Amino acid sequence: MIDPRKFVECLQSNNVDFFTGVPDSLLKEFCACLEQVPQAGRHIISANEGGAVALALGYHLATGKIPLVYLQNSGLGNIINPLLSLADAEVYSVPLLLVIGWRGETGVHDEPQHKKQGRVMLSMLDAMEIPYSIVGPEVSAAEDALSEALAYVQKHHAPFALVIKKGTFSTFIGDKKEAASFELTREAAIQQVLDFLDERDVVVSTTGMASREVYEHRVRKGEGHERDFLTVGGMGHASQIALGVALQRPDRSVYCLDGDGALLMHMGALPIAGVLKPANLKHIVLNNGAHDSVGGQPTVGLNIDILGIARACAYQLVFQAETPQELQSCLQELQGSKGPCLLEIRIRRGARKDLGRPATTPVENKQAFMNFIQS
């Protein structure tokens, strides 16, 4: 396996010393290394993958050097436009190194939302005319791939992708950073919200741990899953899914369980919801300042005023809770208020090691939800 520290140091020795992107579970050891090895200001976790390309372009304009952008292949959708309309050799000709985690690789078990993405990823890179090398845990092959990539971007001043297979990087052991300590876990907060809701209320939960925890709580209580739309992919879009439901079903309260990383990824959703003023939309942001589902890499969620942003985006009411008592009080007020309303729940990082995954397929979940909401 490849030592992530040596990989980063090799990049730095080749004058690649600026890193930006959105964390990925297959790249979590590489991302953990980036949190500690580069100098301050040389690693920026971006809000979304397209923004990472723009940051990289700005860095190249200012220095003339090669930047690196990392992402999960699910982020290719966010990155296509800036790759083709900014970084491409026929536009601004940016010598850009891409490091892409290969979720859904054919023959490797993965979740349903990653299967097609993994199957078509190489074809997508071919269609964009971006050359690539596939990198696995073999050190010598990885060294050759990195040499090829660096030679290409230096010669052609255009992007080149390193596609990283599962299990490529070994564990990174570095200094542990102290995380903010809050009383509530995400799972406890979700359980409290779900137990408070009326029978006709519906839930749209964001991708990752949150949807898994919603599913498991329903199982534990012997309840069905028809009231919950579990957004397994499309990070950052759960609030707009919830908005679409709320606008068409004004007789139902629609609760969106969102994450801070997801909120930041597509923050433009907030003013749309605010201006449209769906009275039945209750937007709940579970904020632990981390990309918890892919390794716990930090976001800026705890460094910004989410409530102030929501107010500025025309949300009618905003609330914040950090304890079970505060959460109960906020839920009672939220229930009787006209929206859109936003409740920020500040929570601890982390999840249970034995947290399961939904046993139903996305299509089964969708159909049960539709049957319930249209009944």
Last residue of a domain, one of 132, 164, 196: 164
Quote the pLDDT of residue 45. 96
The gap between the terminal CA atoms of the chain, to the nearest Å, is 53
DSSP string, 287-344: E-SEEGGGT-EE-SGGGS-HHHHHHHTT-SEEEEE-SHHHHHHHHHHHHTS-SSEEEE
* 174: in domain: no
The burial of 224, by beta-carbon neighbours within 10 Å (0-12 exposed, 13-18 middle, 19 or more buried), is given as exposed
* 146: in domain: yes
In this structure, are 148 and 208 located in the same domain? Answer: no
* 171: in domain: no
In this structure, are 155 and 251 located in the same domain? Answer: no
* Domain housing 117: 4-164
pLDDT digits (tens, 9 = 90+) for 279-299: 999 999 999 999 988 888 999
Sign of CA pseudo-dihedral 268, 272, 274, 275 = positive
* 63: in domain: yes
Quote the pLDDT of residue 197. 96
Count of structural domains, the chain = 2
* 153: in domain: yes
Quote the pLDDT of residue 41. 81
In this structure, are 345 and 203 located in the same domain? Answer: yes
In this structure, are 203 and 350 located in the same domain? Answer: yes
The CATH number for 327's domain is 3.40.50.970
In this structure, are 40 and 157 located in the same domain? Answer: yes
In this structure, are 129 and 245 located in the same domain? Answer: no
**Residues 6+ positions from 243 with CB-CB distance below 8 Å:** 269, 272, 273, 276, 278, 281
pLDDT by residue, tens only, the chain of 375 residues: 999 999 999 999 999 999 999 999 999 999 999 999 888 789 999 999 999 999 999 999 999 999 999 999 999 989 999 999 999 999 999 999 999 999 999 889 888 888 999 999 999 999 999 999 999 999 999 899 999 999 999 999 999 999 999 999 999 988 777 767 899 999 999 999 999 999 999 999 999 999 999 999 999 999 999 999 999 989 999 999 999 999 999 999 999 999 999 999 999 999 999 999 999 999 999 999 999 888 889 999 999 999 999 999 999 999 999 999 999 999 999 999 998 999 999 999 988 888 888 999 999 999 999 999 988
In this structure, are 158 and 246 located in the same domain? Answer: no
Quote the pLDDT of residue 111. 86
Pairwise CA distance, residues 311 & 144, whole Å: 52
* 292: in domain: yes
Looking at the whole model, is its pTM more than 0.85?
yes
Last residue of a domain, one of 164, 199, 229: 164
In this structure, are 196 and 336 located in the same domain? Answer: yes
In this structure, are 9 and 144 located in the same domain? Answer: yes
C-beta atoms surrounding 249 within 10 Å: 16
* 180: in domain: no
CB 206 within 8 A of CB 257: yes
In this structure, are 212 and 288 located in the same domain? Answer: yes
In this structure, are 296 and 197 located in the same domain? Answer: yes
In this structure, are 52 and 201 located in the same domain? Answer: no
Last residue of a domain, one of 164, 197, 216: 164
Pairwise CA distance, residues 202 & 252, whole Å: 7
Quote the pLDDT of residue 73. 94
* 110: in domain: yes
Angle, vertex CA 185, rays to CA 29 and CA 314, nearest 5: 95
